Structure 1
Amino acid sequence: MTFLLFLIGITATIVGALPPGASNLAVIKTTINEDIKQGLKISYGAGFGEVILAFLALSFGLLIKEYFVMHTWIQIVLIIVLFIVGVYLVQTKPKKVKDPSSFSSKYVTGFLLSIVNPPVLIYWVVVFSMLHKNYNFDSMSTLPVLILFFSGVFLGKVLTLYGYGRLGHLIQNKKSNFKCFINRLIGVILIVISIIQTIKLSLF
């Protein structure tokens, strides 16, 4: 059961981290502008940030859920930001710019990009609700079980972002029009996500 929770931690994190987000895009950009080793530094910081979010969701799940239900303006702001970033990426041509992560530690950049992500917090609240129902897993579980689960969370985040880093590595030596296609693809994905979130908010 303990090892199963470790695998669940990895799987749940990968599923939650696959949609393109700020940390994913930062890894791709850093890999393109520098190299995959620098992109991995962001992924390690983001992995730690993911663990913190998961821990908060496990400890204060009910309070967090109620807060977001009562403050719909947070969800509206996130939808608007996703839509604006998506439109920007669709319309903007790739150009050589100085990597913003070079101004500070890439570990810190990855951590901040990961932890400032309310939708992921809600995602973990839902995950832990299911785990408690099916496996009786909660904040009162034994320390070894908790450590193993959160190790799975960290590993899942790093593996996912490493995959994005490999994508950035493939793009690195390609033509600029291919980079433009990737930018537009990510932009379209973000716009679609914002539309889906708007529909969900209007229905519920």
Structure 2
Amino acid sequence: MTVFIPFFTGLIAAIVGVLPPGLINMTVAKVRLTDGIKRALIFVSGALLVIAVQTYVSVVFARYISQHDEVVATLRTIGLVVFGVLTLYFFFWAKKPTLEGSDRIQLKSKRSRFFMGMLISALNLLPIPYYVVISVTLASYGYFDFSLAQELSLVAGVTSGSFLVFYLYIVFISHLKSKTDWVLRYMNRIIGAITGLVALLTLWNLLR
């Protein structure tokens, strides 16, 4: 079984999960503006280390869950509901994301950007259940067998996708407010379309 499917699944899942403005990427943007690209990349490296560990922990949980068919069936149903609700939320109720939150983030020490990235990333525990669902879903469809190579491939995909989003924030932060407002304007619909597609695929597999 190829390792490319877990990699690209992790890549896309990370982009969808990290792209909306949140504490981590807003802090990345703030570090870029106050301390420059080098320190921002140091901050990102600390955040990515924690993200990689969280992803692997998620895979370990998913490996156990996948050995119990009744749990897998339940998670499929829960996943359908979750992705369906997320689709409705992003299409109809979510507010347009902005970058104004970065102005309120206070950065005190400049000496420990790496550990600061680790700390802020560690405070966010949502990636663990998120990647558990991703791993179990892949396994239930026969695209993930929890071999070491595939586990590392998924972790590499998630880490790469997270880095890509963080790097885009670093590079384009000074232009986002004036030149790429249309991206923020349509971001909710883009994410809603992706979660809607996942919900439809999940429903189709449940009915099959």
TM-score bracket for the superposition, by shorter chain length: 0.5 to 0.7
1:141 equivalent in structure 2: none
Equivalent position amino acid for 1:54 in 2: V
Match of 1:40 among 15, 39, 45: 45
- How many residue pairs are counted as aligned between the two chains? 183
- 8 Å contact from structure 1 (residues 64, 122) kept in 2: no
- 8 Å contact from structure 2 (residues 99, 177) kept in 1: yes
CA deviations on 1:30-81 (whole Å, 9 max, x unpaired) are: 3212123323333322222222222222221234322235556555544455
Deviation at 1:160, TM superposition (A): 1.4
Q: TM-score, normalised by structure 1?
A: 0.65
Determine the C-alpha separation between the residues in 2 that align with 1:157 and 1:82: 22
1:126 equivalent in structure 2: 137
Alignment of 1:154-169 (within 5 A): 154-169=155-170
Determine the C-alpha separation between the residues in 2 that align with 1:73 and 1:16: 17
Could you tell me the percent identity over the aligned residues?
11
2:10 counterpart of 1:13? yes
- 8 Å contact from structure 2 (residues 90, 192) kept in 1: yes
Determine the C-alpha separation between the residues in 1 that align with 2:135 and 2:106: 29
Alignment of 1:19-38 (within 5 A): 20-22=16-18, 25-26=21-22, 27-34=24-31, 35-38=40-43
Structure 1: stretches of 5+ with no match in the other structure: 139-144
Deviation at 1:108, TM superposition (A): 0.4
2:75 equivalent in structure 1: 68
Determine the C-alpha separation between the residues in 1 that align with 2:155 and 2:127: 12
Deviation at 1:167, TM superposition (A): 0.6
Alignment of 1:132-171 (within 5 A): 137-138=145-146, 146=148, 148-171=149-172
2:37 equivalent in structure 1: none
2:104 equivalent in structure 1: 98
Deviation at 1:195, TM superposition (A): 4.5
2:113 counterpart of 1:113? no
Give the alignment's Cα RMSD to 1 decimal. Answer: 3.8
- 8 Å contact from structure 2 (residues 87, 193) kept in 1: no
Determine the C-alpha separation between the residues in 2 that align with 1:175 and 1:197: 28
2:188 equivalent in structure 1: 187
Determine the C-alpha separation between the residues in 1 that align with 2:154 and 2:60: 10
Determine the C-alpha separation between the residues in 2 that align with 1:100 and 1:74: 34
Deviation at 1:179, TM superposition (A): 5.0
Determine the C-alpha separation between the residues in 2 that align with 1:123 and 1:175: 30
Q: TM-score, normalised by structure 2?
A: 0.65
